[in-house]
Structures are given as structure tokens and as C-alpha cells.
Amino acid sequence: MSLKNALAPFGIWARALARPYTIPVEDIMRAPADRYRGWHTNDAEACIGCGSCSDICQNAAIDMVVNRDATKGDTGLRPMVDYGRCCWCALCVDVCPSGSLGLSSEYTWVDKDPEVFRYVPGVDKKPWDDDTKGWHGGEWDLINHDRVPMSMLPGETRGQTWAEVVLGYSEEEAQREAARCLECGICTAACPAHMHIPEYIGAIRDGNYEQAVNLIYETNPMPEMCGKVCTRRCEDVCAHAKQGEPVAIRWLKRFATERFDDLREVIKADVAPIGVGKRVAVIGGGPSGITVAYYLAIRGFEVNLYEALPTLGGATFFGIPKYRFPMPSLEKQVDMLRGAGVKLHVNSPVDAALFEELRSTHDAVFIGAGLMRGKAMRVEGEDAPGVVNALTFLLEHHLRNNTDSDKVSKEPVVLPGMKVAVVGGGNTAIDAARVSLRLGASEVVISYRRRKEDMPADWEEIEDAEHENIQIDVQAIPLRIEQTPDGRLDLIWGPAEMVADKPGARPKPVLVEGVENHLVVDRIIGAIGQGPNLRWLSPEAQGTIADKWGWIKVNEDGMTGMPGVFAGGDLVNETADAISAIADGLRVVQGIPRWLGLQ
Amino acid sequence: MNEFVQEIQARFEVLWSNPQRPDLMQIGVRQVNALPLLTWLKSNTGYFILNHFSAVDWIEDGEFQLTYLLTDYAARRSLMVCVRIDRAAPTAESVHHLWPEAVTYEQEMFEMFGISFPGSPRQGVDLLLEGWEDIPPMRRDFDTAAFAEEAFGFRPGRTHTNPRDRVAIAFGQKGFLHDH
Amino acid sequence: MGVEEKGKVPLLPSGVPVGSKPHATDSTLFAQGRPKPLSLDESVAFIKNWFRAQSLNVMAYGTGCGSIELGPLGTSRFDMERFGITGGPTPRQSSVLIISGYLSVKTLKRVIRSYEQMPNPRWVVALGSCTINGGMYWDSYSTIKILDQYLPVDVYVNGCMPRPEALIAGFKDLMDMIKRGEANGYIEYQNNLDWYRANQRKVIKDWNLPEYSW
Amino acid sequence: MELLLQILWSSIGVLIAVAYGLLTGGIVRKLFARIQGRVGPPVYQGFIDLGKNFFVRDNISHGPMFYFGPALRTAGGVGIFLFIPAIVGWAPGENFSFAGDLLLVMYFMFFGSLGMALGGSAGGHPHTPIGAGRGLSQMTAFEVPFILAVIALVADTGSFSVHDLTLAQAGGFLEWNLLTHPFAAAAAFIAMLGMNGYAPFNVVGAPNEIPVGPMTEYQGGFIATLGTGRAIFAIAKMILFMDLFLGGATSILEAFIKVFVIYMWSVAVAAVFPRYRVDQSMRFFLGWPALIGVVAVLLALF
């Protein structure tokens, strides 16, 4: 040991005069790193209460607690975090489909009471609620926002064929898509029939298709129809829809039902035969009528179903083009009715006398006659030859092509080479346009009063129409129709500008005066809505069950003002879609036994 | 590694072999052959280090698997010797005379799986679980969460509502194919 | 489950229930317009508590992962010694026991023994989620879930694990509580010893601790 | 009457020594902290710790012997202080110095450690005998150079009285034994490092390996008593060194300064060197320091 070695360490005494490294007391609560994961924050208004955070938590730290009323698109639950469990892994943030959950950068919480470390972020006010630092996700997500793409016929070729446009999922695709489901059940609130959506998607994911269709049949006797053409409000509220694409609930239902050629072997009903000896007459073979007939038949009721057209299906038969909903699919569902023992009377329009007879011979009568009257466009020259209503057009077309009915005109309304204009923006307008195209129309134009984003038709339908080279003229208000000297029709329209008259309401189209545009076509199809038509009933009966416009009012059991007469479907609800009609039917399925005192 | 397995096969019956990595081979042997094989490996080959010794519960087969991980540090290769033993009466021969460090593994396995190694010095002496009365906790038929709740309890005052149930109740979800 | 409610309300030596503040924060005092002077007992208690709070000896016993956060407290950056907090090398000379996270049943046995060897007044600081409701180890067969069933906890510092800064905040709170005479877990422990013992014996199956180890 | 007055003065001296010891301890902690880049505790932290230990409610005893440790330790410190002159030539500071006091003081130095060994062992803690054994071993080792240094001084001066030894250096700082007996001073000051129990000779109370050695079972009031004893012991030792080598003090201020400076020697070393094991420290004290002591004795004798 040299002297230098012994003395050198004393040099460290110089440190005694240097500034200490210690953080001063006043700065001790340092701000952490920007992405430090501290206490939870939640935007309680954006949160939808899907419970994904609770499901993924490995420590079972998150409870869903009742915070507000459940609405469509919000379960009314909000996550409550137990900090006696949390380990700040932020899986809950990364999996949050609404992106509302986050972690602030606050990290200090000291208390003598162990019960306080539990709160509902965003609801129980905390000092760190507005902290923008911390971890708020967004850089990556644990959930898959993109749905498995659906394969379709290419747009340029399908205009020449009646083949189904949508090709359907393969098994692998369906399971992959089903695996995206978060199983929160928010969709069931938006579905009018409140179907068991997460359950059957789970069954599809597990490859248990038989269970899946059984779950579907719990509340829907026309799942293949719904799987193809449902308005699918469920997908609008899907938790995935907040930040990405919703789960393809419709395509999954279609996939499950298409797995089986004959569902009669698969569906296992297990209900008490409470209706043995009771007779129910169903007027109208649309979705609501089929629903009532099927579920009452499996309960032992003797059901007579009267349909004016040669085939069942109602609006789903004559309103929906077969490239969307082919006849075999419809036949499959009708077979289920036959299997359940429903007596089908097709080509049997009901008139006032038969109605009275049905009332006297049956314990209950259900009216699901639908909206059979197309609304007029109310423009000058509407009664010119070549101007047809979309409903008439589609009905005539479907009867001609899919039945042996003789109630058809000599030649189709739209002939090859014609130029067709469709007035309207709903699904019916799109259907009429696409059918016209397939009938050989050289050019099809859709003319709509508002903007494209205001169109009530499905955005998928609009896209499909555009892919098929259908022209869409928007903000076009029809003024009058004139006949040109060469026998064609001139649709004169004026441009509209959108005026928002009150906040929140959708803007109204207002005609720009003085400008007139001409659209010269061979056929004009008006598709601006449908209305009820109860003229087949006696005036007294009409007055008892319906208001002066023909809409039927029913009570919570689906019963009209006339005892024993129930109603449902488009005549009753204004949404005018198949799933609402099915929901009406389900209401009556409960209402009739209750009215008959069978429960 | 395959030649080495052939060499073992020449002496002992190798039930199966499974190369996991270029430097890691897994072989399965019968229980009667286990101790002779390990003794031979320890004394006659480079695999004289017992790196790890553990058990796997194959509850479906009614067996435990004992896994001896031996390493040849000179050759930088490892050999996993797997032995299946009966789950109903789990007993295996102790290797503490070959590797003193095996005592702790054997003590732990007795405690966590209930596998007994007769002759192992600290057999039955508590290592981690003092006064354990239930079935050994690493067995797969032991329900940890249920045990934790029963034995320790969780802080009361928490309620959870399943979102699906809440929606179903709020909107009156029903089924019409079955009577519920 | 099945732990019965604590029986009587623990009392301070002066007969005041635990949790009630013994000095001038009572609103009735201010109703008279000025704070009431402290009585002799209260003054002595205040002085005692001030000394106790300004000199804390932390028992050197890391029970879980959180003890890794205790280390930095002694380093130059955080320097807990400037607050009068030092390490207590033996339970006899320690006044603060830090339960740093999960506590296995085996460790609990040692912790109880150590805690009971600490002279009164003594305080328990619980770190992390595990001490509150099991935390990450909520479904573990070998760790306790609710610490206050077995030991009286004076201060919880939440986090998994809490940063050293949070721990300092916890110490500050503990010191304030001691000065106010509110950190009375040790009195609660003595007054409810039977309750604590029953809980401890429930999880420690091979109970071989002395009945009286302080 | 004069005796009673002396007792009064000495009692006040003891109190001042305790206070000064605690303050010095606080300063030392602060210095150590600053060297480590920390702020460190306030300098009055020693008083707070003492008060806090007195206010611990429970004092667990392990029988009558258990009281001996703190009692003997404190008695040793007080004893040293009382029997050497703190301030030479000023009656209140002369204490009870008498002709053979150096021998008594040397005995008192052993006294504390012995008491700790006895009392601590009564606690029954297994760490106690380990710590006590280490402490006594190290003590026997550092006593060798220290005693050799003292023998050298005594041989040169011809008196066992600290008072006389101090007076012999009275003619200014050039007369100090530090300069006149450099070998003895060197041996003694190296021995002091072990005596003070700072690094590198702090394995006795090593808090990391064997919690605080002999004091493992002591708590509360015992620790407070021990702390008092340690404070006065440290000061008393420094006064002894001051008297032996730095010519004593003639005023309180001088005493304070000299004591502090001597204390700093130990601190200066402690702050920068790591710890010796007990066998290493024994080997160290019985090596060069002992040899220097022998040289000092030889120089004094011939």
C-alpha cells in the first residue's frame, strides 16, 4: 500500500462542499414521464359500457356498475376500478372500443382507509380527470377494427346477371369475423327483436353452427332473409363501430343459416303445447305473419295463413330483388312453416266477408297485411304512360319471373335498351334501379332531393349501385313530367340547396328558383314511399282498428281496438323493415296466448 | 444429437425422442430405466449437471411427468429426460445421491405436487407452504381462485353487472324456441 | 370470507376513541372565537408525538416486490434521512413496518412476529394494491388478500408499485397523522387482539408463535 | 462545600458534554450525507432521536443483567469525563482528576464494551454474542497501540495523572505531545479510529450483516440511554486525547474546538474508507500501529 493509495481517497471530501444530488423537498412530487400510467380517466359520455375493460382485466379489478339507464348503444354501465387489484398494465385502455378509457399521469394516492381506493372514472370526479398526459391508447389497439371483407361479384359483370351479388363467408372467414365480437350485447338492444346476437356469434366462433341457428331461431323465424337483407341496426351500435368497422353480424347470421340446407332437422323447439285446440288466422304472409304463424304453430295452435300472392314472403318476396334474396332462401323459410304445421292458403286474398268469417271461426286473427300502396310523387304529369310506381314495378317483375301467376302485364315495364329514371333515395329506389339495369336498361339514373349522405338507403346498397354504373343525381327536385314528341318522357327538375333551418335536424332541400334541368328518359319509376291500404276491410272494421290514414294502433300485446284482432308489421310500426315486423310478430306471439288466458 | 440418442437407445429403451432445438433434445424413458440412465449419464457422459428438475401434471393421462434437464457444458448441449409416473400413487426414485442440489427440487415437488421421493433427506419438511392442509397446489385439479376466496376472502363491497344481462333485462330479451 | 366485524371501538390511553382528533380541530373550539389552549396531557402528547414523528425507523424487512422501491429512498436522489427516516436494523429499534406488496402466509408469520416485537408506538405502512385487495395475486393460494385483517394498517400507499415519490408522500402523511395523534393502529391492535389473532390463526395453519411475543 | 460545588460543576459538564456529543454526531451525519451527495438530516437530529427513544412506550427487559449494558456504557463515558480535566486550570472544568486517573480511565474504556457484552447477552439474541465477540476482539487489538502510546507518555513524564501530563505541555503548541512524541501520537490516533467505531472499524455494530450486534435486543429507553452514553463517551475520549496530546484546553471554547478537530480525524478517515472485517482490523492494529507504539516506548525509555 503506497502512501498515494492511502491518501487519494481523502479527495472525496471535496464532495462535501459540492451541491447535493437530492431533489429539493418542494419538487419532490416530480412529474412523471409523459406516458406514465397512473389513475384511470374515462369520458363517461363516450363510454358505452361494453365491459371489454372488465373482461380483459387479468386481476378482476374492473366491475361494471349501474350508472345510468340503458339505451340503444349504451348499456348504462360504467367501469369501476378497484385499485386493490389494478396493476396499471393498461390492457383495459388498449382494448377500449370507444377509446374513452385512459390513464392519467398522476401516481400518488395515500389514504388511511383501504375502502377508498375504488371509484368510477369519469363519474366520480377526481383531480386528474382532465390530465392529457399519461396513457390514453391510440398508438396501438388490442382490438381488430377491420372486418373480414366480404367477397362479391365484380360490379361490372353483375349488371347482366340475376345471381346473388354477395358470395358469403367461408368457414374460416366467418370464424375469424366472429372472433372479433366483444360479446358486450349492446347490439341486442338495438335489434327490434332483441336477438341473442353475442351468443350465436360465439357459437359460430366455436364452430358450433347447430347451436348458432337454434339461438337465432329463438327470436327470428326468417334468419336467412335477415342474414341477407336486414337493415341491421345492431351493426350501427356495435362497440367496434365507435372506432372501426362493426362486426358483420348480418353476414354471420347468413353464414350460419346457409350451413344447413334444411333447417327442419336442426331446429329443436322445446315449448309447452299451450295452444292445442285453439285456432288462429293470420292474414298476410310477410315477416310478421310468418313469425306469428311459426311460433304459434310450434306451441300447438292451429294456424291458418292467408296470402294474396302466389307465394309467401310479403315485402321480402316482391320488394327485395332476387340478386339479394333468392327464392330458394325464401322457400327454405317457408318449409319451416310447413314443418311446424301451419296451413298455408296462397292466392287467397281476404275480403270483408272472409275477415268476418275468420273472426267467428278462429280464436284470434292477426293482420300483417303490409303497405301495399306506393305513394304518388305529386308532380304534374305523373299519370303519363311510362311513369310507374316502384312497388308496382317490382311486384309485377317478381310475379312474372318467380311465379306462374297470370296477374302480369303482357310485357315487362322496362325493356332492354331503355333509359330509366328512378325518383327517390330509399332502398326501394336502389332496388328499382338495379332491377331495371338487370332487365337491360341502357342507362339508369337515380334522382334524389337531398344529398347522398342523406339517402335513407343502406350505404352498401348505394355503393353497390354505383359500382354497377348507376348514376345518382342528388339535390334534384322533380318539377313536372312532360311527354316529348317522340314518345319519351322529360323529367324536369330543379336544383336544390340544403338549408339547415334548425340545429340538430337534418337540413331541408330548398328549390333554387329559375333553373330547370331536363332528363329525357323512357321510363320514370317513382319510389318515394309506401302507405297502408285497408280497403279490403269493411268501413266499420277499418274505423275500429285503424286511423283515418289506415295506420293501425295496437296495445302492448299487439291487439287492435277490435277484440281478438291483432296486428303487426309495416301497418303498425313506421320503421317499415323486416326485423321490426318480426319483432311485432313476437309481441303478438306473447299477446295471443295471454289474451286467450293460456299462460 | 441423434447419434447420442442412438447411443442411449443401445443401452436403455428410449420411448420417444423429440429434438426441440439443435442444442436441446427431449427423450422419454420408462420409469424403471430412469435411475440407471441418469446414473450412466452422470458418470459416463458430459451430461453431469442437473440444471433443472421439475414435474408436469398430465391430469388427462393420469400421470405426472418428471423432467430432468441435464446439461453438457463442454458441448453446450442439453438433454431433457422425461419420465411418466402414475398420478394416483406418485413415487419416484430420489437422485439426491447423484446431485445434492436435487434435494430442494424433490422437497418442492413433494410439497407442490405430492410426488414422494423415498430417501430424499428433506422429504416432508415444509419449504414454502407451512401447515398446508389441502391437496398440493400445483396439481391441476386444485382450484386456486376458489381456494383463495375461501381461505382469504376478498374485500367486500364490489358488485359487477354483466353488460349482456343488463341489456337483456332492460330491453326484455326473450327466447321463443324454448320455454324458459 | 367469514371474518366477523371488529367488536369494540379502540380507545386511546386517554379514553378518546381512535380517529377523533385530540386537539384543536374540533369545530366547538372555534365556536368560542379562539382556539382552546392545550391541556397538560395534550401538550405532553403533542410533544411526544412530535418527537416520534420526526424520527422514524423503518424496519428493514422487504416482504414483497415493493421493497425495491425502498432502496431509492435511501439514495442521494430522495434521501429519506433528511426527514428523519432511517432504517431500523432490528424490530426492537424500529417504529415503522412497511409491508411492501404481496404477503405470503409464510412471510405473514414472520411479519406478525416482527411486528409484535416492535415496541409501541409502532406503525404499519402498506404499499401497493396487493395489500388492499390481493392485487395481482388475488387468486394465489399462498398470499393473503386483505392486510388489515391481520395487522393494523395506518397508511396505504396505492400503486403497483408506488414510486418512491409516492412513498415519501405516504411518510409525510404518516408523520402528520402521528403528530395529530391519529396513527393509532397499534392501540387498535392491542384492543382487538383476539380478533386479529383469530384471523391470523385462520390462515396460518401451523400456528407456533408465542402467544405473547412483545 | 467545595466538593458539592465540584459535583455541581461536573454534573453541568456532563450535560454539556452530552449535548455537544449529540450535536457533533449530527454534524458528522450531515457531513457523511454531503459526501454521499445528499442533503442529510438536520444537525439536531440526534436530539430528536434521543427524545423519540425516550418516548417509546414499551421497554422490554430481559432480566436484571439486561440493564447493565446501557448502565455500564453510560457509566464508562461519565467516568472518563469525570476523572480527567476538561479544562485545565479552571476549577469548574477540572472535574475529579487525581494522581492515578489515567489508569482508571483506561479501565473505564473497557468498561462500556464489557457491559454491552454482559447486558446484551442477557437478551438471548444469537446476534448479540457475535457482535460482542467482535467488539471485544477488536478492542483488545486497538488497545495495544493505545496502551503503548500511553506508556511512552507516562515513561517520559513520570506521572499517571492526566492533569500532570497536560501541564507538562503547557508551554505553547510546540510543547504538545503531538509534536514532541510523534510516534506515540501516531499510535494513539490510529488506535482512536478503532475506539470510535467508525469505518473502517465499524463491523461491531454492522447493521447490514448482524443487526446492530450487541444492541439487537435493546429498544426505547435503553437505546436512549445508550445514545446518551455514546455521546458523552465520544466527547470524553476526545477530551482525553486533547489532554494527552494537544495540551489540554484553558477555556470552554478551546475545548470545543480541539475536541471537534480531534473528532474530525476519525470522521475524515471513516468517510472515505470501506470496512475491515474483524480479523483484518485485528491484524491491522497489531501490525504497524503496535510497532509504532513500541518505537514510541523505546524512544521514551532511551
Residue among A3, A4, A7, A13 with most chain D CBs within 10 A, to mutate: A13
DSSP β-bridge partners for residue C125:
C98, C155
- ipTM here: 0.83
pLDDT at C212: 60
State which residue of chain B sits closest to A193, comparing Cα positions: B173
Shared domain for A393 and A523, answered yes or no, is yes
Rg (CA), chain B: 23
Tell me whether residue A342 is in a domain.
Answer: yes
- The answer to whether C90 contacts chain D (CB < 8 Å) is yes
Q: What is the pLDDT of residues B77-134, one digit of tens each?
A: 999 999 999 999 999 999 999 999 999 999 999 999 999 999 999 988 988 888 898 8
From the list C77, C138, C155, which residue is nearest A60 (CB)? Answer: C138
Q: Which residues have a Cβ under 8 Å from the Cβ of A251 and sit 6 or more positions away?
A: A150, A166, A168, A169, A174, A177, A227
Alpha-carbon distance of A395 to A318, in angstroms, equals: 5
From the list A30, A88, A111, which residue is nearest C165 (CB)? Answer: A30
Task: Give chains near D: 3+ CB pairs under 8 A.
Answer: A, C
CB spacing of A82 vs C148 below 8 angstroms: no
Query: Which residues from B are below 8 Å from A237, CB to CB?
Result: none
State the count of interchain CB pairs (< 8 A) between A and B.
Answer: 98
- The answer to whether B159 contacts chain C (CB < 8 Å) is no
- The answer to whether D283 contacts chain A (CB < 8 Å) is no
Domains in chain B with CATH codes: 2-155 (3.30.460.80)
Instruction: Write the DSSP string, chain D.
Output: -HHHHHHHHHHHHHHHHHHHHHHHHHHHHHHHHHHTT-----TTHHHHHHHHHHT-S-----SGGGGHHHHHHHHHHHHHHHHS-SSTT-HHHHTT--TTHHHHHHHHHHHHHHHHHHHHHHTT-THHHHHHHHHHHHHHHHHHHHHHHHHHHHHHH----HHHHHHTT-S-GGGSHHHHSHHHHHHHHHHHHHHHT-TTS--TT-TTTSTTGGGTT--THHHHHHHHHHHHHHHHHHHHHHHHHS---SSHHHHHHHHHHHHHHHHHHHHH--PPPHHHHHHHHTTHHHHHHHHHHHHHH-
Going from the first residue of chain A to its last (599 residues), give the mean pLDDT of each consecutive group of 10, the final group possibly shorter: 84 89 88 91 92 93 93 91 93 91 92 92 91 85 88 81 88 94 91 92 94 92 90 90 91 92 87 89 92 92 92 88 88 89 90 91 91 83 86 88 78 85 90 89 90 85 87 89 87 87 78 87 89 86 84 89 90 85 92 87
Residue ranges in chain D whose pLDDT is less than 70: 206-212
Residue among D272, D283, D284 with most chain A CBs within 10 A, to mutate: D272
Q: What is the pLDDT of residues B13-32, one digit of tens each?
A: 999 999 999 999 999 999 99
- The answer to whether A218 contacts chain B (CB < 8 Å) is yes
pLDDT at A88: 93
Alpha-carbon distance of B118 to B38, in angstroms, equals: 17
Shared domain for A366 and A398, answered yes or no, is no
CB spacing of D38 vs A9 below 8 angstroms: no
- The answer to whether A109 contacts chain C (CB < 8 Å) is yes
Does C22 score more than 80 pLDDT?
no
**Chains D and A are in contact, defined as 3 or more C-beta pairs closer than 8 angstroms:** yes
CB spacing of C140 vs B148 below 8 angstroms: yes
Query: Which residues from C are below 8 Å from D52, CB to CB?
Result: 51-52, 54-55, 95
Shared domain for A353 and A386, answered yes or no, is no
CA separation, residue A555 to residues A153, A282, A296, A549, A595 (Å): 45, 18, 19, 18, 12
Residue among A110, A116, A126 with most chain C CBs within 10 A, to mutate: A110
pLDDT at D206: 66
Alpha-carbon distance of A555 to A559, in angstroms, equals: 5
Shared domain for A384 and A490, answered yes or no, is yes
CA separation, residue A32 to residues A89, A92, C99, C165 (Å): 16, 21, 24, 10
Alpha-carbon distance of D211 to D215, in angstroms, equals: 8
CB spacing of C87 vs D219 below 8 angstroms: no
- The answer to whether A268 contacts chain B (CB < 8 Å) is yes
Shared domain for A313 and A237, answered yes or no, is no
pLDDT at C26: 42
Element spanning C23, H or E? none
| CA A94 from centre of chain | 27
Tell me whether residue A577 is in a domain.
Answer: yes
Alpha-carbon distance of B165 to A194, in angstroms, equals: 12
Tell me whether residue A518 is in a domain.
Answer: yes
Shared domain for A523 and A547, answered yes or no, is no
- The answer to whether B171 contacts chain A (CB < 8 Å) is yes
**Chains B and D are in contact, defined as 3 or more C-beta pairs closer than 8 angstroms:** no
Residue A47 C-alpha, separation from nearest chain C C-alpha, in angstroms: 25
Query: Which residues from B are below 8 Å from A214, CB to CB?
Result: 177
Domain that holds residue A173: 156-258
pLDDT at D204: 78
Query: Which residues from A are below 8 Å from B157, CB to CB?
Result: 115, 118
Tell me whether residue A192 is in a domain.
Answer: yes
pLDDT at B98: 93
State which residue of chain B sits closest to A73, comparing Cα positions: B167
- The answer to whether A217 contacts chain B (CB < 8 Å) is yes
Find the CATH number of the domain harbouring A244: 1.10.1060.10
**Chains C and D are in contact, defined as 3 or more C-beta pairs closer than 8 angstroms:** yes
- The answer to whether B143 contacts chain C (CB < 8 Å) is no
Shared domain for A392 and A452, answered yes or no, is yes
Rg (CA), chain A: 31
- Tell me the CATH architecture of domain C56-203: 3-Layer(aba) Sandwich (3.40)
Average pLDDT along chain C: 81
DSSP β-bridge partners for residue A422:
A446, A525
Cell numbers found for residue C177: 397523522
State which residue of chain D sits closest to C187, comparing Cα positions: D57
- The answer to whether A359 contacts chain B (CB < 8 Å) is no
Shared domain for A301 and A438, answered yes or no, is no
Last residue of a domain, one of A188, A223, A258: A258
| In chain D, where the domains are located | 2-301
Residue among D28, D35, D275 with most chain A CBs within 10 A, to mutate: D35
State which residue of chain D sits closest to C13, comparing Cα positions: D57
| In chain C, where the domains are located | 56-203
Does C6 score more than 50 pLDDT?
no
Shared domain for A477 and A448, answered yes or no, is yes
Shared domain for A540 and A484, answered yes or no, is no
Residue among C92, C116, C179 with most chain D CBs within 10 A, to mutate: C92
Tell me whether residue A581 is in a domain.
Answer: yes
Shared domain for A336 and A402, answered yes or no, is no
Alpha-carbon distance of D119 to D132, in angstroms, equals: 10
State the count of interchain CB pairs (< 8 A) between B and C.
Answer: 61
- The answer to whether A550 contacts chain C (CB < 8 Å) is no
Residue among A15, A23, A26 with most chain D CBs within 10 A, to mutate: A15
From the list A21, A88, A110, which residue is nearest C160 (CB)? Answer: A88
Alpha-carbon distance of A161 to A156, in angstroms, equals: 10
Find the CATH number of the domain harbouring A73: 3.30.70.3270
- The answer to whether B153 contacts chain A (CB < 8 Å) is no
